[in-house]
Chains A and B, each alone.
Chain A
């Protein structure tokens, strides 16, 4: 093995100037790409678009609630707005943003050429786009989903909800679920099988670890909601009785199946962000992560326990004291590994030398805001208290502290942190700091007073309130906060646009970070690493630069060497492919066929199979067969 003679890490880097020769970026190239980096960028851009859509919906909600008795938005539209806001933020913004980082960063972190199955990866992306389209087309048909993001039966019952609204949600979420699961299979295989030589599991960066664990959560949790949605679909389309009380069905079955998925889902949204934070904290504290292995075990523990707590969403459904007590207790135990993580980060910060860059500020924001959300979460785990908080604005405050204060802060931190890697340019630090403070102030002004409103009894999902309730003052503050927060998000976009054009150009490792993604150029060449990196420690770039043992000289020259324009020519790249898009469009048409009344070809009881669905099915099959018989250009790739 020739590589044995190489130093701890041997990832020759290509100078930025030369990579341009191999780059194509026409529209066709994006549509047919199977490159994990391009797919990652597409995930990110699409998710940010939906983040803006969801944000706009939130601002409309808040504008309606700015004062008592406001007549801006009627109850129908209000129901649609909060349902689509929640659904969009979770399935079309936060999850795909995490997937964007998984796609772009994770293969680089483990020194791989690409994910295990590049075309499947493209297929996941296109399905995500189709899911977003399906859900949002409902606006243009006049009936957007209106039953709340967790779609409790019997609100979804055909009798109470006779329009197509719920059906759009059913089809959209099914497609989104398939997309997420296929992606997760791919990431697990990639991480388990494609790590660089020497990168044992316990040398993987924590972000990669959380990608692995979250993907496992995804494939184990999504089947439950798939089954719940199939039952709902059958109830609505075929007249079955799964949630129909009169025939012996039980609406609570939905709640159980939904939350068996739903609680792991909240970890699906937060664990990847824990990973991001665990990359940023060491980099800007100039200290390896304090308690790395504890961090890994805590992640596994959270994921495992996360499957045993679902009924804490159902304390007020009358499950009885035993079930309530058990689920309350298991919920509290999750606070232990979560707390451990927070102390690991604090330990790293306390023992290191902190640099207050924008990513680090968002990270510290994340740690503190998430902790507040975690504390109100433990409050809910206490059953009598939860009976009081349930369905009030206190709950809205709680989960926005974990979802916005936790997930979004961390994702924004990740964007600032990896932007130079992805684009080769620095984000503007001055704008970044303004961005941070605006987000921080706007966020707290929006969500902190919601605690007060909730304790004063303001319910969630009400489109208006009376003046006598005494909620006017805090509601006005909350709405103003939301405007500041909205402006902060626009500033973020502005900073991205500005920095793309005129950000300072950077080399391979502008933050002096320890992990492998920083060993290649910024942006990385299409083939990632011209030569297979070899890993001998947890923080390979630091080990190499500063040494980490007595036998290693204090400083090894960086392996950064300039390669010619032919660098990486011997790395085989998979061919671009149309089939993922063809297959995804097929599934899209199939779904739409169920949603629009059109020529019915085939009756199966009350289930009308429409012409469009048949065309969709044929397209999907065409895509799959085309895909199966298409040469990939690389042996063993799919």
Chain B
């Protein structure tokens, strides 16, 4: 009996082991991370594999269209300045998301609404940019069916766009909830989870932007050069970009 008690308090001594559960009240052993938030982290881990598979496919097929000789090819289409602006818009939306959450956590509901709306608007702007880009590319002859570059490009960036779109839908729903008084300091977690998702979608865009946009740009600049010099060129492109 004595030992059992000792072991038990020993376990409790491991810090957040129990009694800190956000809602249980039964003193479970756990991570100390709220269930929904943990769930979101797991979803994002899984989503990494999803985008990983899409991106890997894109990278494997990247030069196939050129090899087969059926255009249009990446370096003919990609417009770095334009996409840089829309990437910047999306990155800004992460900032406004942080500000929105920060305000809510401090209890400033009005500001949190404003920043939340700003985030949704920036996200929508990004989507508008993507829509514009897709139609441009389409005019220049790039289609889902036309060549392998079209198939992989539209699928990869399209799925990212779907993620952004769902995110915007979520943000707007939260805005409505907030306007009806449902989003308060106590349940800032609800917003925090949406924020996690939103930042993740941003990070994915940074990866896509680098691999899909900057890379072919870099290799086009370095045309005729050695394979190995691509990396070098890429570095230059990035420097020039900033």
Residues of chain A having any CB pair with chain B under 8 Å: 1, 3-5, 7-8, 112-113, 116-117, 181, 185-186, 188-189, 192-200, 219-224, 226-228, 230-231, 234, 238-242, 247-250, 253, 257, 260, 532, 534-537, 543, 549, 551-553, 556, 605, 635-636, 638
Complex Cα spacing A116 to B38, Å: 11
Closest to B57 in A: A253
Say how far A628's CB is from chain B's closest CB, in angstroms.
8
Q: Is the CB of B36 within 8 A of A4?
A: no
Q: Say which residue of A185, A242, A552 sits within 8 Å of B151 (CB atoms).
A: A242
- Identify which of residues 20-34 in chain B touch chain A, using a CB-to-CB cut-off of 8 Å: 21-24, 26-31, 33-34
Complex Cα spacing A240 to B38, Å: 37
Which chain B positions have C-beta within 8 A of A8? 1, 4, 7-8
**6 new A-B pairs (CB below 8 Å) besides A240-B150, A534-B8?**
A1-B19, A220-B45, A230-B155, A248-B70, A535-B8, A543-B4
- Which of B89-97, B141-149, B230-238 binds A? B141-149
Complex Cα spacing A238 to B4, Å: 64
Say how far A238's CB is from chain B's closest CB, in angstroms.
6
Closest to B54 in A: A227
**When A8-B4, A222-B46 are in contact, do A239 and B26 touch as well, CB less than 8 Å?**
no
Per-residue interface assignment for chain B, residues 37 to 53, with 1 indicating a CB less than 8 Å from any chain A CB and 0 otherwise: 01100110111011011
Asked if B137 is at the interface of the complex by the 8 Å CB criterion, the answer is: no
Complex Cα spacing A116 to B7, Å: 26
Residues of chain B having any CB pair with chain A under 8 Å: 1-5, 7-9, 11-12, 14, 17-19, 21-24, 26-31, 33-36, 38-39, 42-43, 45-47, 49-50, 52-54, 57, 60-61, 64-65, 67-68, 70, 144-145, 147-148, 150-152, 155
Which chain A positions have C-beta within 8 A of B151? 234, 240-242, 247, 249
Closest to A634 in B: B23
Which chain A positions have C-beta within 8 A of B28? 112, 193-197
Complex Cα spacing A121 to B3, Å: 38
Which chain A positions have C-beta within 8 A of B33? 193
Q: Say which residue of B7, B46, B64, B152 sits within 8 Å of A223 (CB atoms).
A: B46
Which chain A positions have C-beta within 8 A of B5? 4-5, 536
Q: Is the CB of B147 within 8 A of A199?
A: no
Closest to B158 in A: A234
Closest to B143 in A: A605
Closest to B67 in A: A248
Which chain B positions have C-beta within 8 A of A536? 3-5, 7-8, 11
Say how far A374's CB is from chain B's closest CB, in angstroms.
27
Complex Cα spacing A118 to B139, Å: 49
Q: Is the CB of A248 within 8 A of B68?
A: yes
Q: Say which residue of B4, B14, B45, B148 sits within 8 Å of A241 (CB atoms).
A: B148
Q: Is the CB of B67 within 8 A of A223?
A: no
Q: Is the CB of B61 within 8 A of A249?
A: yes
Q: Is the CB of A552 within 8 A of B4?
A: yes
Say how far A36's CB is from chain B's closest CB, in angstroms.
15
Which chain A positions have C-beta within 8 A of B53? 223-224, 227-228, 257, 260
**Pairs of residues from A and B, 5 with the lowest C-beta to C-beta distance, nearest first:** A636-B23, A8-B4, A248-B64, A193-B30, A223-B49
Complex Cα spacing A416 to B68, Å: 60
Which chain A positions have C-beta within 8 A of B57? 227, 231, 242, 253, 257
Say how far A491's CB is from chain B's closest CB, in angstroms.
41
**When A193-B33, A231-B155, A247-B68 are in contact, do A224 and B42 touch as well, CB less than 8 Å?**
no
Complex Cα spacing A465 to B1, Å: 70
Which chain A positions have C-beta within 8 A of B39? 116-117, 185-186, 189
Q: Is the CB of B26 within 8 A of A200?
A: no
Complex Cα spacing A36 to B109, Å: 38
Q: Is the CB of A200 within 8 A of B148?
A: no
Q: Is the CB of A220 within 8 A of B49?
A: yes
Which chain B positions have C-beta within 8 A of A186? 39
Which chain A positions have C-beta within 8 A of B12? 1, 197-198
Say how far B194's CB is from chain A's closest CB, in angstroms.
12
Question: 5 A–B contact pairs at CB < 8 A?
Answer: A112-B28, A223-B47, A231-B155, A248-B147, A556-B1
Q: Is the CB of B27 within 8 A of A1?
A: yes
Q: Say which residue of A113, A194, A228, A260 sits within 8 Å of B30 (CB atoms).
A: A194
Q: Is the CB of A226 within 8 A of B50?
A: yes
Q: Is the CB of B54 within 8 A of A551?
A: no
**When A192-B38, A223-B47, A536-B8 are in contact, do A549 and B147 touch as well, CB less than 8 Å?**
no
Which chain A positions have C-beta within 8 A of B26? 113, 532
Q: Is the CB of A198 within 8 A of B11?
A: yes
Complex Cα spacing A638 to B4, Å: 34
Q: Say which residue of B2, B29, B50, B68 sits within 8 Å of A200 (CB atoms).
A: B29
Which chain A positions have C-beta within 8 A of B19? 1, 197
